[in-house]
Amino acid sequence: MTGGTRTGIGWDSHRLTPGAPLILGGVTLTHPDGLGLDGHSDADVLTHAVIDALLGAAGLGDIGEHFPDTDEAFRGADSLALLRESVVRAAAVGWRPVHIDTTVMMERPKLKEHRAVMRSRLAAAVGLEDGEVNIKASTGEGIGFVGREEGVAALAVVTVTPVA
């Protein structure tokens, strides 16, 4: 079926570990205790959730199928580059993103001062205006793996429309 829009959902989480970089939406943040995200690529949990949502909307499976963590090519990979490649793959099957909404679940640091830059970087990676990308912040209220600062999680919803 062609025409109309589709939506996809994405979820990701990564472990917080001492000494690793904390990259969200392509922006490196500083955690007050020096914690960062552990993963095969750059562990950008927010960008990974957006990639999964985009692939989902385009009916292309998930991030693990496209960029397997067993592949040395993706060790330390820039997740924004993987997002740009996902946009190309979605376009190849007839879909382009028109709107992105996200929620980052992280106890510290506060996202507020970084949110505008993260939004711009995600928007640029998928070819949208800043106003077509939204980033919300949520904490774990001290409970669960987010609240105990064992990890950071992110959710994304991406809406796609047929490539003109």
Span interacting with Zn ion, options 44-52, 93-101, 111-119, 136-144, rule CB under 5 A: 44-52
Letters for 5-34 (x = contact with Zn ion by CB under 5 A, - = none) are -------x----------------------
Provide DSSP, 64-125. Answer: HHHS-TT-GGGTT--HHHHHHHHHHHHHHTTEEEEEEEEEEE-SSS-SGGGHHHHHHHHHHH
- Minimum gap (Å) between residue 45 Cβ and Zn ion: 5
Interface with Zn ion (CB under 5 A), residue from 26, 29, 48, 55: 48
Span interacting with Zn ion, options 40-48, 93-101, 103-111, 154-162, rule CB under 5 A: 40-48
Identity of the residue, 48 or 115, whose beta carbon is nearer to Zn ion in the bound complex: 48
Q: What's the half-sphere exposure (Cβ side, CA atoms, 13 Å) at 34?
A: 2
Residue nearest to Zn ion (CB): 48
> How far apart are the C-alpha atoms of 28 and 140, rounded to whole Å?
21
Beta bridge partners of 153: 13, 105
Q: Residues interacting with Zn ion, by CB under 5 A?
A: 12, 48
